[in-house]
Structure 1
Amino acid sequence: MRKCIYCLVFLGLISCGNSRENSETSKKDNTQNDHKGMQPLGLIGGTSWHSTVEYYSAINQTTNDYFGNNTNPPLLVYTLNQAEVHRFQIENKWDSIAYMLTNAASSLNKAGAGAVMFCANTPHKVYNLVQNELDFPVIHIADATAKAIHKKGLKKVGFIGTKYTMEEDFITKRIADNGIEVLVPHERVVLDELHRIIQEELTYGVINKESKDYVLNVIYDLIENGAEGVVLGCTEFPLMIFPEDLDVPTFNTTVIHSMAGVDYILKK
């Protein structure tokens, strides 16, 4: 009788073990099927959070439209402290910004992201420093923008952004390397004012009519100098400048970069 009881207890333990294992396997399978056929993407945002919201919204909405329902993409978001980023920019400590971005990218990768994106143009100043430290891709905003310009068949475009993106060529040269001529403002007063509008207004979500008129006048000057379209090379400018404001194509780098993210997620 005692042997029979031992046998029953032993069989019960095996049954419980199998049940627990099957349950864990089922949970794992369900987790894997949550985003079946999609690749997790990491977004490094916060520069500013207003444009990061636009990235998140565009990627989710486009994925919903692709599937024809409310299927959401596997997105992971890491928000940087913009105040600290701005301080490092002013102090010319770009290595510190590169460290912040590398740390954010590594954290997203550990959480499951197979690729990441900087949700702004200016952080791409340290793109090479960051990419060299990683063994997974950082999707570059200029590559996506160049493709969008080619699709429109344009050969010459104007470009406006922060003073860093206009004074230096870490964005414009990457676009130009694709056979596209890029025009940028050169007057110091114009560079400083565009930068001020971004830093003191748009990053806070403030849309000032006088500032919008100023930006449009800068764009008109670029068009008069032969620009067939204009690249809004700061992800804050699309909060202020819209396609209907101009008679030439506008290239919203926020949306363009977001679509490159969707292509990665959907394995296009």
Structure 2
Amino acid sequence: MKVYFYFLIALVLVSCNDAKVEKNESDQSEMQTKNSKEMNVLGLIGGTSWHSTIEYYSAINQAVNDHYGNNTNPPLLIYTMNQAKVHRFQIENKWDSIAHMLVNAGLSLSKAGAESVLFCANTPHKVYDAVQEKLDIPVIHIADATASAIHKQELKKVLFLGTKYSMQENFITKRIKDNGIDVLVPQEQEVIDELHRIIIEELTYGNIVESSKAYVLNVIQNSVEEGAEGVVLGCTEFPLMIFQEDLEISIFDTTKIHSMAGVDFILNK
């Protein structure tokens, strides 16, 4: 009789534990479903290069995980462009063709459910207006997010480094300047060409060359002597090479900054 009594107690305890496990699993599932419904769907137009696109994907997922304190992942859609084709159109000065590629990517993401998109690179913003005009969903601009980050640190003058297109033209720098920030860019053609070469021939392939890193750091140091209080890494490959511990001035990593702007959209901030 005593054995039977203990057996009943053990059976009740097991049942209670099973019920608690099922409830916890149910609560967790319900919470994850709730989180998913609350989040906006973001589309990433990447591939320029795929190395930096990975950084976007990783940063956005990690930030959303951190926000919820669990493994809740954001509803991300990715469209990978053909970088070789993009570079060919850049060399041939066929920016209308690049805009067409971006529009097609944006439309595809929109049809798949994206409520906003971002270009996972700085240079495609050269055709931002032409692309935004063709899309019914907003494109989150990298320069707006960068200017906001600079303002938060209350800096007045920064150096901007990027591809030759973004350094020689003002489709990024003017948008930052319009926010009341003085922007320096390299003036010597040989410096512009070498920075562009490092990006195109090395970083877009994921290659980190120490002599090239030293060259970039020297360019930054020269700008400090001109009054730069920070440096905008205006190519999403530069953060693969240059880190905050390399410098005494503030680094504005446009990959991370732009990614966090995407996170704000996802989380309705």
Give the alignment's TM-score, normalised by structure 2.
0.88
User: What is the aligned partner in structure 2 of residue 236 from structure 1?
Assistant: 237
User: What is the aligned partner in structure 1 of residue 86 from structure 2?
Assistant: 85
Give the partner amino acid of 2:98.
I
1:42-121 mapped onto 2 (5 Å cutoff) = 42-121=43-122
User: What is the aligned partner in structure 2 of residue 199 from structure 1?
Assistant: 200
Distance 1:129 1:201 in 2: 30
Q: Deviations over 1:171-226 (max 9, x none)?
A: 00000000000000010000000000000000000000000000000001111101
Distance 1:169 1:134 in 2: 23
User: What is the aligned partner in structure 2 of residue 183 from structure 1?
Assistant: 184
Give the conservation status (yes or no) of the 8 Å contact 2:39–2:267: yes
Deviation at 1:30, TM superposition (A): 12
Give the partner amino acid of 2:217.
L
Deviation at 1:134, TM superposition (A): 1.1
1:32-51 mapped onto 2 (5 Å cutoff) = 35-51=36-52
Distance verdict in 2 for CA 1:236–1:182, change over 3 Å: same
Deviation at 1:106, TM superposition (A): 0.5
Distance verdict in 2 for CA 1:59–1:30, change over 3 Å: closer
Deviation at 1:36, TM superposition (A): 1.7
Give the partner amino acid of 1:51.
S
Distance verdict in 2 for CA 1:69–1:90, change over 3 Å: same
Distance 1:242 1:232 in 2: 10
Q: Deviations over 1:74-126 (max 9, x none)?
A: 00000000000000000000000000000000000000000000000000000
Give the conservation status (yes or no) of the 8 Å contact 2:65–2:71: yes
Distance 1:133 1:209 in 2: 42
Distance 1:34 1:258 in 2: 19
Give the conservation status (yes or no) of the 8 Å contact 2:164–2:193: yes
Distance 1:106 1:135 in 2: 9
Question: Structure 1 stretches of 5 or more lacking a match?
Answer: 1-28
Distance 2:84 2:132 in 1: 23
Give the conservation status (yes or no) of the 8 Å contact 2:122–2:166: yes
User: What is the aligned partner in structure 1 of residue 147 from structure 2?
Assistant: 146
SS in structure 1 at match of 2:117:
strand
User: What is the aligned partner in structure 2 of residue 9 from structure 1?
Assistant: none
Distance 1:211 1:180 in 2: 28
The runs of at least 4 consecutive aligned structure 1 residues that moved more than 3 Å come to 29-34
Distance 1:250 1:127 in 2: 24
Deviation at 1:135, TM superposition (A): 1.4
Give the partner amino acid of 1:46.
G
Question: Structure 2 stretches of 5 or more lacking a match?
Answer: 1-29
Give the partner amino acid of 2:205.
Y
User: What is the Cα-based RMSD across aligned positions, in Å?
Assistant: 1.4
SS in structure 1 at match of 2:36:
coil
SS in structure 2 at match of 1:159:
strand
Work out the number of aligned pairs and report it.
240
Give the partner amino acid of 1:55.
Y
SS in structure 2 at match of 1:77:
strand
Q: Deviations over 1:154-175 (max 9, x none)?
A: 0000010000000000000000
Give the conservation status (yes or no) of the 8 Å contact 2:32–2:72: no
SS in structure 1 at match of 2:134:
coil
Q: Deviations over 1:11-45 (max 9, x none)?
A: xxxxxxxxxxxxxxxxxx99975712000000000
Distance 1:121 1:57 in 2: 18
Give the alignment's TM-score, normalised by structure 1.
0.88
SS in structure 2 at match of 1:210:
helix
Aligned-residue sequence identity (percent) comes to: 73
Distance 1:205 1:71 in 2: 29
